[in-house]
Structure 1
Amino acid sequence: MPHAIRIHKTGGPEVLQWDEVAIGDPGPGEVRLAHKAVGLNYIDTYHRSGLYPVPMPSGIGLEGAGVVEAVGTGVTEFKAGDRVAYANGPLGSYSEKKIHPAERLVKVPDAITMEQAASMMLQGLTVQYLLRRLLVQPKKGDTILLHAAAGGIGLIACQWAKALGVNVIGTVGSEEKAKLAKEHGCTHTINYVTEDFHARVMEITGGKKVPIVYDSIGKDTWVKSLDCLQPKGLMVTFGNASGPVDGVNMGILAAKGSLYVHRPTLVSYTSKREDLVASAKELFDHVIAGDIKVGPRQQYALKDAAQAHRDLEGRKTTGSTILVP
């Protein structure tokens, strides 16, 4: 019988259990796939901890890549043997096998490995909408501020921004991470442990500030990030690594220059299949062309997911991480 990581209560990494699970045949519109690699993402820790509540007991994980074993009635786009990947619900990618809606899958080109696909789908599609589909998008020659520039999303974003001719000021937590971010196209790095990122942004931009801030950190960077924005600038908050931003006085946006705030999610930006397919194609094309180099920097056995969570939350990882069944 196949195994999966499941949670029966919220808490720390210790609540992740290695359970036997029954996987039946796919129903109408579904496929059964055998995972070859599973992506580790920070949102997984939110589901595990209860920050983003889910019904219990529950599977966990939103991203995976594998091979189709069987298809249900009505599925015509996929067949047994196809290489596929996904970056969305339903939860349960931390598993050896999974039933998944066919409409939420994309085919993986032969030039991309399963390990690459699992390490870039959620993060890469996030970067795609951040840089290419928001109401305000960075233009060639712009300088933007990107927090967590050495993370999985950060390393892809640095490369994609460079391909667009956009300069990136990236915050990192160590000199090693600064070096890594620069190697992936980050124009300027700021070590937030030893430097005041607002002061450095002012220095780097000559006091002009930036038109867009991309922030996955949350409450710890919220106020100073707003101070880095030009009048009518856009604050994009898309994560809560330090905790959620709450109790916001909207008047602060007026006081700091008629600022805009956007809280997007990948679910919203890929809810239509045509958007999912088009976004994935653009991501795959950049990777195949060599504009974006991506692959797992850490790898754990799927049954060791708890240790992967400890390392992720302890900021011991860089770039993308995968779990292997």
Structure 2
Amino acid sequence: MSNESLANLLKEERRFAPPTELAAAANVTAAAYAQASEDRLGFWADQARRLSWAVEPTETLDWSNPPFAKWFADGKLNVAYNCVDRHVENGLGDRVAIHFEGEPGDSRSITYAQLKDEVSQAANALLELGVRKGDRVAVYLPMIAEAVVAMLACARIGATHSVVFGGFSSDAVASRIQDAQAKLVITADGGYRRGKPSALKPAIDEALTKVEGVDHVLVIRRTEQEIGWTEGRDVWWHEITARQSTEHTPEAHEAEHPLFILYTSGTTGKPKGILHTSGGYLTQTSYTHHAVFDLKPETDVYWCTADIGWVTGHSYIVYGPLSNGATQVIYEGTPDTPHQGRFWEIVQKYGV
């Protein structure tokens, strides 16, 4: 096929299909398109009802102080409860939430019941370390299952997480820790990338020589590399979580309570922190994941190959899929390790 023919084919594939054609293929009806067009606030109020609210919102959008929009401001919910507990309560505890595949070939599958236990233990560990609602927690991890657990544990207790991509430098980490005034950092000794261990903890140690206010560094053991250790500050994840109860009652937080801070990449200047709140964000990401991806959680295995360090990972690895009760794959490494077919082996293994 010539380049010109290929370009024409791709152009043809990118045509926008009419709503009726899209509706025939996805978790959305033609009526939904009409409703969204005619009554967008009513449409989003309906989508909010897909979630479990401790206090049902009576107002959808408060736009009285532009550009500051408030969504479902009089409602209360817990994001982690919506992503984990309610599925267990609905009899789906044995459904696999996460198939984790490590780059070296290690793997484990975590059910929703197991995820609830791990998130509860992590939440209790954060509480033991003095983290409370409204505190900020920096997360600097490889693509491992504990990264998802850490984010959900923060959401559960109302601590705002700031995830920093695991490939960023100590300077980038330091600036984000300082900007958020994080009191705790969650990291790992390292992760596997391109066939070998890649250290992470040294970047945190270096970053913390430049900023103040961090009380503890919670360290996940992944690669078993030798790392520096600061007594009284550094804590092993596996030790503190193992002694926690698997029971934790999630508190309902205001819909406008800050869920996470995530920074722009900085390609056009200094990275800017974007604050996402709870109710409006979860409504949007849960619905779009359900509708756009045509997810059938009873039968489908889903895989978003992004990193949790980006908003795509927040929305379509953590909060979107889990709020919809999906079974998904999380892969730690690079797509060409140990060979170019690695992704397709994983697709075949889990039936993605």
Pairwise TM-score range, normalised by the shorter structure: 0.3 to 0.5
The TM-score normalised by the length of structure 2 is 0.38
Larger Rg belongs to: 2
The structure with more helix, counted as a fraction of residues? 2
Give TM-score scaled by structure 1 length. 0.40
